[in-house]
Each structure stands twice: as C-alpha cells, then as structure tokens.
Chains A and B, each alone.
Chain A
Amino acid sequence: MSQPTSMFSAELVVPALGGSLRKLHPAQLVRNPVLFTTAVVALLLTVLLFVGQTGLSLGFQIQLIVWLWLTVLFGTFAESLAEGRGRAQAASLRATRSDLVARLPDGSKVSAATLQKGAVVMVAAGELIPADGEVIAGVASVNEAAITGESAPVIREAGGDRSAVTAGTRVLSDEITVRVTQEAGQGFLDRMIALVEGAQRQKTPNEIALTILLVGLTIIFLIAVATIPAFARYAGGQIPVAVLAALLITLIPTTIAALLSAIGIAGMDRLVQFNVLAKSGRAVEAAGDIDVLLLDKTGTITVGDRQASQFLPLNGTSPVTLARAALVASLADETPEGRSIVRLAQEAHGLEAPEVPAGAEVIPFTAQTRISGLDNAGHVVTKGAVDAILRSVPEAARGTAATELRRIAEDVARQGQTPLAVAENGVLLGIVALKDVIKAGVRDRFAELRKMGIRTVMITGDNPLTAAAIAAESGVDDFLAEATPEDKLALIRREQQGGRLVAMCGDGTNDAPALAQADVGVAMNTGTQAAREAGNMVDLDSDPTKLIEIVGLGKQLLMTRGALTTFSVANDVAKYFAIIPAMFLVLYPQLSVLNVMHLATPQSAILSAIMFNALIIPALVPLALKGVRYRPVGAGQLLARNLAIFGMGGLIAPFVGIKAIDLVVAALHLA
C-alpha cells in the first residue's frame, strides 16, 4: 500500500475542493438529509435576497447566506477529503492492474480482461499473474508487494493452504499453472480499488440508524422554528425569514451530519493502511461489537514453532537410546520441531547428526498416519502422536509399556507440552516433550481485552490437558482443544446463539465455513481462495494477531461517530442562548437578560452563531479523519472520559467560540 500523505497536503486538498462542489448535486446531496436541508434553506434565502422584503440590511443578509452555503460546502469537503485519501491508493493499485497479459498453455497471449472463470494460464518467472486464481501445478516464489506492500517473496504452490494467487503480483522464480477463479473485473484487486475509492460505499447499519436520528432531530427543530412566526404574530411582531433560517440551521445537527460519511470512509481507510481489507463497512462496525475472539494458538498465542524440551524414556530404556532414535527419526524432518529435536539430542547428549543414509527411505508425515520417520534397510525408527505410534506397534509389543507411555504423555501434556512418542522397530522407547513458547506480552494483551469486555478463546489441535496448561499460562479466557473445523463452527454458532458476536481468523479451506459464520472473519492473504472468499476481511500481512487491532479500529470508528454526535447535539444549548434573545428582542426587550454571552448586537449574535456552526465543521475534520483515541479500558471509564470531553466540551465550547467570534464581528463592524 502506498503510504498516506499528510492529511492536509495540497495534493489531497485541491482535488477535494473540486469534489466538494461536485457533491452539491441534489441527487448526491439528498443522501445527507441534514446538509440537504441546509442547502435548501441557503437557496431559499438566496432567492429571497432578490425578490423579498426582509427589513434586514443587505450586508447582513449576504453574510448570512455566504455562511449557510459554506456550512454545506464544509460538509461536502470533509467527505471529499476523506475519499481523496482512498483515491490516491486506488490510483497506485490501478496502475498495477492495467495491461495485464495472460499466457495460455498453448503459448498464445491474450488480454487478461478476456479471461473467463475456469480458464488456465501459465505464469513464469518475471511475469505478472493476470488474474486471481489457484495454483494447480508447480511452485513459485511470488512478490506480492503490489497489494501487501511487503517486498519479501512468498511461496505459492499447488495443493495445500498456500495455493491462492492474486492478479497483479509478480512471479520471481519457477513457473506455475493457474486456474482462474474470478471473472475479469471482479478480482481481488478490482474489489480493493472499489473499496478504497469508496465507490461502492453503502451506509452501515449504525450509520443508517444515526442518519434517522439526525433526520428526526431536524424535523423536531423544524417544527420548533416553523411555529415561531405564529407565536410572534400573537406577540404583535414579525421575525425575518433569514433569522428563522439561521436559528434552524444552527439547531439541526449539521456538525455530525457533515462529518458522518467522512468518519466512515476514514475508518475504512485506517484499516487499509493497516493492511487489512474489509469487504464492507458493516464488517468494520461489527468488529467494534465483538464479544468473543477466537484465536489460533499457533502464531497468535505461541510463537509458531514448538521446541523439543526433554527426552522422557520408558523404564528400562536409557535416555541416550531414546535421544538417538528420536534424532534418526527426525533427520529428514525439516520442520522447526524436527530440527529442534535434532538440536536437543546434540546438545543434551552430545550426539552427532549424520546425513540421511543413502538408500534410506523417508516415511513422510501425513494427516492420516500422523507418523514420520526413517526406514533404513528395515531399521525403522518413527515418531508421532502417541495414539498413532501405539497403533503402529504390534499388540504384543505394547504390554505395560503402552500404559507407561500414556502416563508419561499425560504428565507432559499437563505441563502444557506436547508429547511425541518414539518407537524403534516396533518397540516403544519413550516420549519427546515439545514445549510451546508463549509470545511475549500476550498475557497483558488478554487482560486488556478482558477489560474491554472481550472474551478470548484459544483454538488448538492440542489435547485438552496441553491446551489447559497453555491457556493458563497465556491468560486466555477459554480454549477449544482438539479443534476440528466442525468444532469451530459449532462454537461460533453457540456463542452467537447466546447473543454474542464472534471474530476469528483463518487461512485454510476447511476454515471457510467458520469464517463465513463468524461476524468478523479475517482471512489470511496467504490462505486459500476459499478462505479469502468466505471471510469479510482479508489481512494482507497474514498476521493473526491483528484481529485484536481490528477490534480496536472498529471501536474507534463507532466512538468517533458517537463523540461527534454528542458534541453536535450539546452545542445547541449555547446556540439557543445566542439566537433566542436576539430574535425576540423586538417582541419583548426584557428577554435581553437571556443574552448571557453579552453578544454585541442581535445581528452580531445571529451571525456569530451561524459562523461558529459552519467553522466547527472544518475544525473537527482532523478528528473525524484520525478518529477519537481508543484505550482498552472498560465501557464505564470510556464513557466518563468521552462524556467529559465531548459532552461537557460540547456544552461549553460554543459559548466560548460564539463569544470570541462575536468580538471579532463587532470589532470589524460586520454586523
């Protein structure tokens, strides 16, 4: 992702100015009912300026009209500016997409735009992948910097969970065969462009509800203002339309209405800068509401790799015998766990690690057997899950050894370690304990989440004893042991049935149902196409710990909206005290005692209020775009803090602001 330029740099502001004028089109403006009302009132006053008799000075009227139009423009500008940041990112993405060429298996070249779903293309080193798809043959290293911003290449290979490739990324080595999984124009890159541009932006549920509330407030204040002429007539006077218009516009919630869509766009944008793509604004909002986080143990709670920590031989077997057998069984094992066994055998028992003997047959690990090892001309050494190893030795060879092996394995598991059984030529030798290494700082992280009211559930394939020990050590609230994809799905459904919202991340095809079921499903970009389709967010960095930050970003979005709404509504108190005495002075001069701000003249009071009302919009744009700071504390503390800042602040700020503007207006003899 291109790095965002400063919020108010010229390259963003200048196009936003143009955009703010384009957004005055009634068809666009009507999407924002409060700003639309303001524009209608401004238009009405503009027309009345030429045809009406108001009894107000021309200069005052013109200033009023100018400030009303500015109120509308500030609103459209805020939205434009927020969109502009996304548009800059979209432009760099679009550059990647243009001119993609596809090479078909027969060697002919066609434009990527003509590719159909299901088509098969070849991509060799140096070429750009023409469409989203799945590797069906070969393995290659791919530079995905175009979409992730990460320059280190990633491996993409057929089968398994790393088969998805994205249009616009570059193959660095080897050649792969790719089956296209998306129609042209609906690929990942296309969707990303549309998202960051905000072209397909739809109002989110909370935004819709808030808009309804703002419309409601507008109607209420419209009634309050529209009845004033009748009341004034009873009192034997008349209130100029321009003054009524000023009161209406200051009372209706223009501030939040002007900033509402900018807040939403900026929220999505923050996520994009965080290298997470949300497929809808709804998902970002849901992130703020999350009650339960399902976290994969590996990579999130523990560092990815387990380390061998000790050899636990059966009675009658010497530790060295066990260590040597484990070492041999792991010679061909290139996983970090396998290598850690070799290392432990060397360090603890001073053994040499020979090359894999020529002619020896490697027994590969498969999900079915869950055993791996080496078969050197009939000398078979294996290691694997305790049950799997027990099944692999003849019934007669087990004897009491099996019972002892199980007991040791349980002890190991209870300590939060993973037991790995070792057997040599059908004879049980003992257990290698693999230790999970808990990531630094996760304990504090979970404590924070707990304060935020979020429960964490660790998902692991470990047995319950190991899982419980790791859960206790890491401070996670709950765990799901020996988790199958079905278990995950069931857990999510159960939590949702209890009215809780669940977030999870996943990468494999078998995660897809759970990702789709979760309220927030974050798919890893390295994952399969199925997972990326099922989730409602994609993490381009494929970092499962991000789930926690995503929740924070969702909350920040909602908080910003709430804070500015509260601020906007609280502002009305001061505006009343500015305009009501000014307005009714002609009817009852005694009402001047309500002029608590001692504003210079009735006209300066009205002008100051309308100016404050307009100027507060650009003043709050930075806050709307950056978002209110979120702290991981309980809701009570957050509310107290935000109410103090935005509630009390919203009451007090306009008193100060209107008074200050009035001093300037009076000094410059503007009214």
Chain B
Amino acid sequence: MTSATLVSGFGLILVFTALVALLAKPFGLWLFAIYEGRQTPLHRVLGPVERGFYRLAGVNPDQEQNWRQYALHLMLFQVATVVFTYAILRLQGVLPMNPRGLPGISPDGAMNTAIAFVTNTNWQWYAGETVLSNLSQMVGLTLHNFLSAATGIAVAFALFRGFARAQTSNLGNFWADCTRITLYVLLPACVVYALYLVASGVPQTFASLVNATTLEGAHQAIVVGPVASQEAIKMLGTNGGGFFNANSAHPFENPTALVDFVQMLSIFALGAGLTYTFGKAVGNTRQGWAILWAMLLLFVAGASIVWWREAAGNPMLHHLGVMGANMEGKEVRFGAAASALFATVTTAASCGAVNAMHDSFTALGGMIPLFNMQLGEIVIGGVGSGIYGFLLFAVLAVFLAGLMVGRTPEYVGKKIEAREVKLAVLAIVILPLCILGLTAVAVVLPAGLAGPLAKGPHGFSEILYAFTSATANNGSAFAGLTAGTPFYNGLLGVAMWLGRFLVVIPVLAIAGSLAARKQTPAGPGSFPTTGGLWIGLLVATILIVGGLTFLPSLALGPVADHLTGAANLLY
C-alpha cells in the first residue's frame, strides 16, 4: 500500500463528508416545508392523492394529536402492517405474482422478516432472490421501505414540535405526517433517483429471469426484477434491504463507481437534511448545524479508522508474504477505500446496505461499524431515528454538563427536568439491554453457538454484530452467522421490535412533555448549544455514555480478535 493510496482514501472520506454537509440544507428545507405542512409545487399534482387517502381512511389531517394519541396510532399502524406482511410471506405460495413458484415462509422466518421491514431494520436472514416472490418483495416489503422511513421521520417531526412549541399538547397528526412525508418527499425523490439508476444500468423490469448464454456456451439464468425502484428507497429510506443477497456488492444493484458514491450520499441525504430541519423548526439553524458537525466529526473519525486498518491489511497474510490492503470480501471494482467508506456510512446511518462483507474486514476495521451501531446509529443515523436518537444524547449531555453554568439545564429553550431525563435514560438503556443481554444469551446456549461460522473472538463478534445490528435497526450482517434458525429469527425479531419501539415511545413522551413546557428565551446566561465547545461536549458524552458500555464486549470481540491475530493465533 503506497502512501498515495492511503492519502487518496482519506481524501475520498473528506470529499464525501463535505458533500454531505452541502446536501443538508436543500434536503432540510424540503423536509421543513413538509414539517410545517406548507404547500409545495408537488402539492398541485399530488394534493388530490393526499386528500383521497384521508377521505379513504376517514382521517382529518388537521386534527392534532397529543403524544399518547400519536404513539397509539403509530403503534396500531405498525402492528397492523406486521400482521399484513406476515400473512403475505406465509401465504406467498398461493398468492399471485410468484413466477418461480416459491413456497410460503416458515412462521419464525416470516415473523422475523415482517418485523425487520416494519422497524426499518431490513435484516435479511434469507437471500431475497431465491426465497421471496415478486408480490412479497413489492407489496410485502417495498411498501415498508417507504412506510418505515416515513414513520421514523414522523417521530422526528413530533419531537421537533415538542422542542419548538410551547404550552400545548399538540404534536401534529401521525397520519398526515406519514402521508405527506411519503407522498411529497420519499416518492418523488425515489422516482428521480430510480430513473438515474436505470440510466446507469440498474435493471427495472417485471420479468424475473434472463436466460443468457455465456462465452463458454453454458446457459445461465440471471435473476432480474424491479431492482432500481427498490434500490432508490433502500438508500434514501436507510432501509438497506437489497433485492439481491449480495446487496450493493451485486453489480445490478451497484453498477458503477459513480452510482456507488451516489448511493452513499443518498443514505445520508435525508438524515443530514433533518438536522437542518431541526434547526429551522426551533428557530435557530445553528442548533442544527452543531448537531450535524458533531455527527460528521464522529463519522470522519470512524471512517478514517476503518480505512486505516483496512489499508494496513491482514497481519495473517503479511506473515505469508501477501502485502497490501485487506481485499477479502471487498468490492474489488471500486477498491478498499470505497468499501471502508461504504461500511462506515451504512452503519452510521441505519441503512445496512453493504457493498462489502463486514465479516471479512480486519478486526478493528470491522469494529467501527459495530461501534457505530452500538451508539444507536446516531451518526447521521436512520431517517428520523438518527436525529431523534441523537437528540436523546443531546438531552443527556445538556443535563450532565449544563448544571456547570449554574442554571437548570436547558436545550433549545426547553428546561430539561426529571421527566425528560427519565425517558431519555429509558430509551438509551434499551441498547445495552438488548445488545449485550441477548448476546449473552446466545453465546451460552447451544442454539446460539450453532450460529457463528468462525471460532474464537471473531465468532463472538459475529453474534454480537447480529444483535447490535438488529437492536439498532441497521440490518447489515457480519455474515458468517447462520441466522435463519428459529432461535436467531426469534431473538433477533425481539431485538428489532424492542430496539425500535422502546425508543420511539419514550421519544414521543419526551416530545409531549417538552411541548407542554414554556419556552425559555436564550440569553448570555443560557448554556450554549452551538459552537465548538458544545460539539466537543456532545461527542464526549456520546463516546463515554454510549460507548463505554460496550467496551468489555468490544474488548472480547474485535480487540481480542485483532490482538490475537497480530500474535498469529488462529482459532
């Protein structure tokens, strides 16, 4: 590995980061218009569709809801869609649009998949192209790619309103938020994006198989389908569930280096935009920028470590005389740097799309994606979930250090009191509880131990990664783990469900509690929540509170993996 390659890798990371920062404002403004319920040019075309939905469902979009109603309607909607998708997956053998005649899916598998897509996790224990019918893919799953993303953004909107409004219980209307986000943001963005992908060579067809004759004369049936549309929402909605098992490492999903780069940007686009929307919502865009800078700081640090370790290569192979970057499992067309970046992006956001196999990363290179998720995917994060998860940490950071300026802690004009602290802690506790607790169960039970491919610390990492990915609603896999068993399907399903809704409900409760409070105008005596000091404090709080919890597990997984590897020990 030459130093020029090393530098160009870091250059790629920085250019990418700069572009994300540039995207934040336009996307943020777009989302802000929807947040406020303002008319956009799209309303002229889609307005009747929106109103049609409301009439169909008997919803009055102007009827504001308090946090309890908002949460209740949200939960009812989620449960209903889980049941719906479960039914489709179970019955796909007898349902139409099944050209390959695939049978229905097992109860545990269907439950796992239904939850995975409703929670925006898109964990896939199966290879999509060989297990799912077109109906299952398009109606059962693609639907959730939109709705789960819209739900995440809706929760973020409700929380923004909690900060922005004063002395009210109104947090907006869940149905209106969801419908508008889907209609005016996700759909149009995906249409444009999918057209670009098609133009770049991504297939979009209802046909299922293309029969090709190879140069050697062999016949090969190549699976195709509505890939481009799936691809667009998979990225923009940080879903990550690919059409193909190989996900974005498959050339049909990710045909060119430029598409690869655009895909990465699109994972961050809405998440970064929401930070700006937050700033607009609370009337001070610097608040939003401060959050974005803190996120990007964590991101650049993470991506740099991954690239540094991947560029250094595999010590085992060095012993054998094979030098250069670690290319095992990498996207060989675009290089190790692009894979390193992709892995950081996809785990920083709650996406989970992959263009390389994370299991094959070097131990420490693979640790960063793991750590990104353990923080709760708040580095840009999933659409909606990233910003509301981050705001939980902001609440904690304000409370930890805010007293140091001699006032009751305040954040964007709202006093942070016992109730908010309690709820924020509740939401944050769920991460270690599910990740560490369920990993602990899996590593001692025979059913759990049957899963990992590797032995030793790397095997431990595989299990830890699975529960981390599920709890954080990421959906990427460390591979290696054979997860399609009733044991893993069940436990990972539980992790995904709790990881999503035991965060969403406290977040909505915080929103309700904040909205009821008075607005405290900021002055020179208020705790400064913009500027470098605050950004540093945020990063430190996230690393200490969010990170230290996982240090023992990381020490026994990736760190031990790295050190034993360096000592030339094999398991």
Q: Which residues of A contact B (CB under 8 A)?
A: 205-206, 208-210, 212-213, 215-217, 219-221, 223-235, 251, 285, 288-289, 291, 450-455, 497-500, 554-556, 558-559, 561-563, 565-566, 569-570, 572-573, 576, 580, 583-584, 587-588, 590-591, 593-594, 630, 634-636, 638-640, 642-643, 646-647
B525 touches A454 (CB 8 A): yes
Given contacts A228-B552, A231-B460, contact A643 B404 (CB under 8 A): yes
Which B residues lie within 8 Å of A635 (CB)? 405-407, 524-528
A-B contact pairs, 10 of them (CB 8 A): A224-B432, A231-B460, A499-B520, A569-B400, A570-B540, A573-B544, A576-B548, A591-B563, A635-B526, A640-B533
Which A residues lie within 8 Å of B536 (CB)? 643
Minimum distance in angstroms from B560 CB to a CB of chain A: 4
Which B residues lie within 8 Å of A205 (CB)? 408, 417-418
Q: Which of B527-571 contact A (CB under 8 A)?
A: 527-528, 531, 533, 536-537, 540, 544-545, 548-553, 555-556, 559-560, 563-564, 566-567, 569
Which A residues lie within 8 Å of B520 (CB)? 291, 499-500
Considering the chains assembled together, what is the distance between the CA atoms of A498 and B524 in angstroms? 17
**Residue B416 interfacial (CB < 8 Å):** yes
Considering the chains assembled together, what is the distance between the CA atoms of A561 and B405 in angstroms? 10
Which A residues lie within 8 Å of B550 (CB)? 224
Q: Which of B380-439 contact A (CB under 8 A)?
A: 396, 399-408, 413, 416-418, 421-422, 425-426, 428-429, 432-433, 436-437, 439
Task: Please choose the segment from B77-85, B117-125, B254-262, B440-448 that sits at the chain A interface, where 4 or more of its residues have CB less than 8 A away.
Answer: B440-448
Given contacts A212-B418, A231-B553, contact A562 B401 (CB under 8 A): yes
**Residue B166 interfacial (CB < 8 Å):** yes
Q: Which residues of B contact A (CB under 8 A)?
A: 166, 396, 399-408, 413, 416-418, 421-422, 425-426, 428-429, 432-433, 436-437, 439-441, 443-444, 449, 457, 459-460, 518-521, 523-528, 531, 533, 536-537, 540, 544-545, 548-553, 555-556, 559-560, 563-564, 566-567, 569
A634 touches B560 (CB 8 A): no
Considering the chains assembled together, what is the distance between the CA atoms of A289 and B407 in angstroms? 5
Considering the chains assembled together, what is the distance between the CA atoms of A554 and B406 in angstroms? 7
Minimum distance in angstroms from B396 CB to a CB of chain A: 7
| Contact among B526, B533, B544, B559 for A453, CB-based, below 8 A | B526
B537 touches A499 (CB 8 A): no
| Contact among A558, A572, A593 for B407, CB-based, below 8 A | A558
A227 touches B400 (CB 8 A): no
Considering the chains assembled together, what is the distance between the CA atoms of A390 and B271 in angstroms? 72
A590 touches B408 (CB 8 A): no
B413 touches A566 (CB 8 A): no
B403 touches A558 (CB 8 A): yes
A224 touches B556 (CB 8 A): no
B406 touches A234 (CB 8 A): no
Which A residues lie within 8 Å of B519 (CB)? 499
Given contacts A227-B436, A562-B402, A635-B525, contact A206 B425 (CB under 8 A): no
B566 touches A590 (CB 8 A): yes
Considering the chains assembled together, what is the distance between the CA atoms of A209 and B416 in angstroms? 9
| Contact among A208, A590, A638 for B405, CB-based, below 8 A | A638
Would you list the 3 A-B pairs with minimal beta carbon distance, nearest first? A453-B525, A562-B403, A555-B406
| Contact among B401, B406, B518, B551 for A566, CB-based, below 8 A | B401
| Contact among B545, B559, B567 for A217, CB-based, below 8 A | B545
8 further interface pairs, Cβ-Cβ under 8 Å (given A219-B425, A225-B552, A584-B560): A209-B417, A209-B421, A289-B407, A554-B406, A566-B404, A580-B551, A635-B528, A640-B533
Minimum distance in angstroms from A571 CB to a CB of chain B: 10
Considering the chains assembled together, what is the distance between the CA atoms of A487 and B25 in angstroms? 46
Minimum distance in angstroms from B426 CB to a CB of chain A: 8
Given contacts A223-B432, A235-B457, contact A291 B404 (CB under 8 A): no
A639 touches B551 (CB 8 A): no
A220 touches B432 (CB 8 A): yes
A213 touches B421 (CB 8 A): yes
Minimum distance in angstroms from A368 CB to a CB of chain B: 41
Which A residues lie within 8 Å of B527 (CB)? 635, 639
Considering the chains assembled together, what is the distance between the CA atoms of A580 and B406 in angstroms? 35
Considering the chains assembled together, what is the distance between the CA atoms of A550 and B215 in angstroms? 88
A227 touches B418 (CB 8 A): no
Which A residues lie within 8 Å of B533 (CB)? 636, 639-640, 643
Considering the chains assembled together, what is the distance between the CA atoms of A584 and B229 in angstroms? 48
B436 touches A209 (CB 8 A): no
Which A residues lie within 8 Å of B555 (CB)? 580, 584, 591, 594
Which B residues lie within 8 Å of A213 (CB)? 396, 399-400, 421, 425
Minimum distance in angstroms from B552 CB to a CB of chain A: 5
Which A residues lie within 8 Å of B443 (CB)? 230-231, 233-234
Minimum distance in angstroms from A548 CB to a CB of chain B: 14
Which B residues lie within 8 Å of A594 (CB)? 555, 559
Closest chain A residue, CB of each to CB of B402: A562
B400 touches A566 (CB 8 A): yes
| Contact among B404, B408, B544 for A638, CB-based, below 8 A | B404
A221 touches B404 (CB 8 A): no
Considering the chains assembled together, what is the distance between the CA atoms of A229 and B443 in angstroms? 10
Closest chain B residue, CB of each to CB of A590: B563
B563 touches A593 (CB 8 A): yes
